[in-house]
Amino acid sequence: MLVSCKLIFPQATPGSAQPLSLTLKEAVQVALKQNPQVVIARLLNLESDRDRQIRLSGLLPQASVTADIAVKQYNLQAVEYAPKAKAAGPFQYVDAGSVFSQTLLDLPLIRSYQISGEATRETRAQENVTREDITAVVVTQYLLVLRAEAIRDAARARVGLAQRLFEQASNLQKTGIGLNIDATRAQVELQNERQSLIDAETLVHTTTYVLAELLDLPRDQEVLLADHLQFFDLPAYEREASINSALAKRPEMQALASQERIVLLQRKSDVEERLPRIEFSGTWLYQGAHFTDSIPAYTYLVGLDVPLFTGGRIQAEVARANLEQKRIEQNRQILEARIVREVKSAIDELKSARAAVDVANFGLKLANEEVEQAQRRFQAGVTTNVEVVTAQDALARANANQIEALYRFNQSRTNLARALGEVENTYAR
Radius of gyration of the chain (CA): 38
Residue 355 has pLDDT above 90, yes or no: yes
Longest dimension (CA), the chain: 140
- Per mean pLDDT, which range of 4-8, 71-75, 114-118, 182-186 is the poorest? 4-8
Of residues 403, 400, 396, the one with CA closest to residue 367: 396
Residue 16 has pLDDT above 80, yes or no: no
- The DSSP symbol for 6 reads -
**Contact yes or no for 73/90 (Cβ under 8 A):** yes
Q: What is the pLDDT of residue 235?
A: 83
CA angle 17, 23, 29 (to 5 degrees): 95
Residue 95, SS3?
Answer: strand
Please state, rounded to an integer, the average pLDDT across all residues of the chain. Answer: 89
Residue 178 has pLDDT above 90, yes or no: no
Please tell me which residue, 342 or 174, carries the higher pLDDT value.
Answer: 342
pLDDT band at residue 31 under the 50/70/90 scheme: very high
Q: Tell me the C-alpha distance between 190 and 193, whole Å.
A: 5
Q: What is the pLDDT of residue 345?
A: 96
Residue 90 has pLDDT above 60, yes or no: yes
The amino acid at 4: S
DSSP alpha helices (H): ranges in 307-382?
Answer: 313-379
Cα torsion through 323, 326, 327, 333, rounded to 10: 180
Q: What is the pLDDT of residue 17?
A: 53
Of residues 227, 28, 29, 223, the one with CA closest to residue 146: 227
Residue 152, SS3?
Answer: helix
Domain boundaries, the chain: 20-57+106-273+310-422
User: For a pLDDT cut of 90, what percent of the chain falls above it?
Assistant: 66
Of residues 266, 296, 268, the one with CA closest to residue 282: 296
Residue 5 has pLDDT above 70, yes or no: no
Check: CATH 2.30.38.10 for 20-57+106-273+310-422?
Answer: no
pLDDT in tens, 113-133: 999 999 999 999 999 999 999
Q: Tell me the C-alpha distance between 103 and 174, whole Å.
A: 103
Q: What is the mean pLDDT of residues 391-405?
A: 90
Residue 4 has pLDDT above 70, yes or no: no
CB-based contacts of 169-173 (< 8 A; 24+ apart in sequence): 169/378, 169/385, 172/378, 172/379, 172/381
Q: What is the pLDDT of residue 177?
A: 74
**Contact yes or no for 424/131 (Cβ under 8 A):** yes
End-to-end alpha carbon distance in the chain = 15
Q: Tell me the C-alpha distance between 406 and 385, whole Å.
A: 31
Q: What is the pLDDT of residue 12?
A: 42
pLDDT band at residue 286 under the 50/70/90 scheme: confident
Residue 409 has pLDDT above 60, yes or no: yes
Q: Tell me the C-alpha distance between 396 and 404, whole Å.
A: 12
**Contact yes or no for 52/120 (Cβ under 8 A):** yes
Q: What is the pLDDT of residue 2?
A: 41
CA angle 375, 381, 384 (to 5 degrees): 70
**Contact yes or no for 103/13 (Cβ under 8 A):** no
Note the pTM of the prediction, 2 decimals: 0.83
The amino acid at 306: V
Q: Tell me the C-alpha distance between 371 and 318, whole Å.
A: 77
Q: Tell me the C-alpha distance between 242 and 419, whole Å.
A: 9
Q: Tell me the helix, strand and coil percentages in the chain, rounded to 5.
A: 65, 15, 20
Q: What is the pLDDT of residue 280?
A: 93
Residue 13 has pLDDT above 60, yes or no: no
pLDDT in tens, 215-258: 999 988 999 999 988 888 888 899 999 999 999 999 999 999 99
Q: What is the mean pLDDT of residues 405-426?
A: 95
For residue 328, CA distances in Å to 209, 294, 318, 324, 325 come to 40, 62, 15, 6, 5
CA angle 259, 264, 266 (to 5 degrees): 90
